[in-house]
Structure 1
Amino acid sequence: MDIKFDRFAAVLFLVIGILFIIGSKNLTSSSYGSVVGPDIFPFILGIALALLSIRLFIETLRGQRYKFGKKEKLDYKPFLIILVATLIYVLTLETIGYVITTFIFLFVCFQAMERGKIIKSLIISACFSGIVYFLFVEVLKGTLPGWPVWI
């Protein structure tokens, strides 16, 4: 744990969160055929990012009295797997659809972070992608890329 890096990251993410909140106000509040507008997600994301960065900053102030002599080894392999999975997710979201791409993306990320527990990863990935799709499309009357044409 590097206190200086965490403190710098907290301030940087706080600024990014505030910029997301300000930027979301410049977006239109509704889109054609949808009750939920494109400004909602960036606004909520900005609030979450700002609140989490404030918490990180507070934790770095509390953790300053503890000194960690041993540096942790950075593990790049899961990071690269998740980065590639994110790029593939973004490129295939429109063609394959939200539910399938989100399910595969979450499953790959869970397996990259913690090998094994395949059944648990499958259940969580399926439930999350299905429930979020249902809530956003059916309850909030929003739009997400549906199922692929060939299904």
Structure 2
Amino acid sequence: MSKTFDRIAAITFLAVGALFMVESLRISKSAYGSAVGPNVFPFLLGLILVLLSIKLLFETAKYAHSESEKLPLQYKKFFIILLAAVFYAALLETVGYVITTFVFLVIGFQAMEKGGLWKSVLFAACFSLGVYGLYVKLLQGTLPSWPIWLQ
């Protein structure tokens, strides 16, 4: 990407991350039946977004002054991931966190780089089960459970 685009994106995401952090402080600190309040994840995601944006700003300062060749925009990959994200959000409560996250990650990995299906499946399974286990079992938080037909 170009230096200008990356700087604009970094500043935009920095503002969005800061907004996430500020607004997460307005969410109640505790939730019934959960040791982790509903404000924790939005705050952490905002913090990660802010830190990555700052890193991108520093990296753009190191860019060479000359513009390199422009890469073609990858609309097909973008729309595949966008559609997968829409279905992920729509089906999260119905199908459950583990299954929807697994399917979303496999689709996303395969859209970005075809091949290595088993590696994508393995990583997606480990991630979705690992996050579910860590958050629900260890931290006693709540995520959409397994679908009714699997319980």
TM (norm. structure 2) is: 0.96
Q: Which residue of 2 aligns with 1:79?
A: 78
How far has the Cα of 1:9 moved from its partner? Answer: 1.1
Q: Which residue of 2 aligns with 1:59?
A: 59
Q: Show structure 1 runs of 5+ residues with no match.
A: none
Q: How far apart are the structure 2 equivalents of 1:26 and 1:131?
A: 29
Q: How far apart are the structure 2 equivalents of 1:148 and 1:9?
A: 38
For residue 62 of structure 1, what is the amino acid of its counterpart? Answer: K
How far has the Cα of 1:61 moved from its partner? Answer: 1.1
TM (norm. structure 1) is: 0.96
Tell me the SS of whatever aligns to 2:18. Answer: helix
Moved more, 11-20 or 83-92: 11-20
Q: Which residue of 1 aligns with 2:136?
A: 137
How far has the Cα of 1:134 moved from its partner? Answer: 0.5
> 4+ residue stretches of structure 1 with deviation over 4 A?
none
Superposition map of 1:88-103 within 5 A: 88-103=87-102
Q: Show structure 2 runs of 5+ residues with no match.
A: none
Superposition map of 1:116-131 within 5 A: 116-131=115-130
Count of aligned pairs: 150
How far has the Cα of 1:111 moved from its partner? Answer: 0.6
> Per-residue displacement from partner, 1:37-72 (whole Å, max 9, x unpaired)?
110011111111111111111111111x33124111
Q: CA-atom RMSD, angstroms?
A: 0.9
Q: Which residue of 1 aligns with 2:11?
A: 11
Tell me the SS of whatever aligns to 1:150. Answer: helix
Identity of aligned residues (%): 52
For residue 136 of structure 1, what is the amino acid of its counterpart? Answer: Y
Q: How far apart are the structure 1 equivalents of 2:100 and 2:69?
A: 39
